[in-house]
């Protein structure tokens, strides 16, 4: 084995390091998602108590607009933020709908 690395070996080494960075960022994102879900649980209690629906369209648009604005300020394509947030909000609405329906069924 020689001491000189081939271009492929250097590329593989760089990709390995970069993938570790991405993995660390992904771990932080999952932690943030868990924190967000904890707040969603509290939101569910309020919505149950106040008889509110899971989907409040004006709030959805407010959240997406805010995400687009924050993304753009950070140099992230706003359309990427919109896709991610719309999917996350859609999942959250479905999650809330299921839990609200289960709570209503228990009361009947």
CATH number, domain with residue 28: 1.20.59.10
Whether the Cβ atoms of residue 85 and residue 69 lie closer than 8 Å to each other = no
Res 105: pLDDT: 86
pLDDT in tens, 45-91: 999 999 999 999 999 999 999 999 999 999 999 999 999 999 999 99
User: Structure pTM?
Assistant: 0.82
In a domain, 1, yes or no: no
Res 2: pLDDT: 58
Q: Which pLDDT band holds residue 5 (cuts at 50, 70, 90)?
A: low
In a domain, 83, yes or no: yes
- The whole-angstrom separation of Cα 108 and Cα 28 is 41
In a domain, 2, yes or no: no
- CA geometry: angle 76, 79, 84, nearest 5 deg: 90
- The whole-angstrom separation of Cα 57 and Cα 26 is 29
| Count of structural domains within the chain | 1
pLDDT at 28 over 80: yes
Domain containing residue 28: 7-107
Tokens 């839990």: give the residue.
Answer: 99
């Amino acid at each position: 084995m020689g001491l000189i690395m081939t271009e492929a070996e250097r590329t593989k080494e760089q990709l390995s390091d970069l993938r570790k960075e991405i993995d660390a960022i992904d771990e932080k994102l999952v932690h943030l998602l868990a924190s967000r879900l904890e707040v969603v649980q509290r939101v569910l209690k309020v919505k149950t108590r106040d008889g509110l629906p899971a989907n409040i369209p004006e709030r959805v648009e407010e959240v997406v607009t805010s995400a687009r604005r924050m993304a753009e300020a950070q140099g992230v394509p706003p359309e990427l933020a919109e896709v991610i947030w719309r999917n996350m909000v859609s999942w959250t609405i479905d999650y809330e709908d299921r839990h609200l329906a289960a709570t209503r069924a228990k009361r009947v």
